[in-house]
Amino acid sequence: MVEGMGVSTEDTFTTILTKKNYPTYNLGVQGYAVSQSKGAFKKFGAKLRSEIVLCLYARGNAHREIFFVDNKLKEKNTFTGGIDNQFQADQNLEIRSQGKYVLTASWLYLTFVRNNLKDFLKYGNVDFKNPIFNRYPEVRSGEKVRELRIQEMNLLIKNFKEIKKLAEINNSKFILGYIELRDLNYYEIATGKKPHPSQFYEGDFLKKFSKENNITFIDFGVPIRNYIKNLPEDFEVSDLPYLKIDGHLNRLGNEILADTIIKYIEKH
């Protein structure tokens, strides 16, 4: 989300902030755990002595912290995501443009069918109130109970505390930003129903933690959902804040993040 995967550098929220006279340095790397973000800040960010240090966390990624405490995962030298996902894809026959044999060519040709079948088995028949969202069957997960994994969350907040201390050494204000993913932010407009309350437990957990530790907390899910809620009835996919295929933010989504940050700075 911070690196800006899927959009040009010019369309990331950090570049937008810079253009609006809020010079911003971007240390985001796709697939990083907060443990790694802390390392990037130690090595590069602390030297910048910025007024504000913003750590943006996307819901559901706390499991990445396990990679740094689980000895079996350490031995495998496995990445948390992002770059490693690309590496794995490069080894996967399905992303190759050619199939040398009939079987591999058939497997490649039927990728779309197999993915649709997999989504059907996972989410059931998709028939949203607003058919524009039928292309995103994962939105259906918004109606399900979501478990809050306390062990992973505790590893996560330990790193937030340490980043806050590092920021304060340079008299920088630490802000914790939180963002839900496309599935949850699209759920209400797609179905006309409210998501299951447990879908918000992770954000509520971090909001409570921030309050208890005197950390400024910005929930970016609120302005994103407000934007979606106020779209005209005849909106198109290009009017939505996420990329058409990938679940990262498009330029519109990045603009919402930048505008939200500016409103906070101007208010305080």
Separation between Cα atoms, residue 259 and residue 159, nearest integer Å: 27
Sequence-distant (6+) residues with CB within 8 A of 186 are 133, 136, 139, 142, 228, 240, 242
Distances in Å between the Cα of 145 and the Cα atoms of 133, 177, 220 are: 21, 24, 22
Residue 1 is assigned to a structural domain of this protein:
no
Statement: residue 168 has pLDDT above 80: yes
The number of beta carbons lying within 10 Å of the beta carbon of residue 107 is 14
Residue 259 lies in a domain: yes
pLDDT-derived band at 98, boundaries 50, 70, 90:
low
> Is 225 domain-assigned?
yes
Q: Percent of the chain having pLDDT more than 90?
A: 69
The answer to whether residue 170 sits within a structural domain is yes
- 69, part of any domain: yes
- Residue 37 included in any domain: yes
What band does 120 get if pLDDT is binned at 50, 70 and 90? low
121 has pLDDT over 80: no
The secondary structure of 206-245, three-state, reads: HHHHHHHCCCEEEECHHHHHHHHHCCCCCCCHHHCCECCC
**Total of domains in the chain:** 1
Give the C-alpha distances (Å, rounded to integers) separating 114 from 48, 111, 214, 233. 48, 5, 48, 33
**Domain residues for 222?**
9-267
Cβ atoms within 10 Å, residue 163? 22
**How many other C-beta atoms can be found within 10 angstroms of the C-beta atom of residue 268?**
8
- Asked if the model's pLDDT at residue 45 lies above 80, the reply is yes
Helices (H), the chain: 13-19, 34-43, 71-76, 83-90, 102-109, 111-123, 150-169, 182-191, 201-212, 221-229, 251-267
Provide the pLDDT confidence category of residue 164 given band limits of 50, 70 and 90: very high
**189 lies in some domain:** yes
pLDDT score at 130: 86
Show Cβ contacts of residue 116 under 8 Å, excluding neighbours closer than 6 positions. none
Six token digits for residue 204: 């509520």
Q: Which two tokens stand for residue 151?
A: 């062990």
Tell me if 4 is assigned to some domain.
no
Mean pLDDT of 60-64: 92
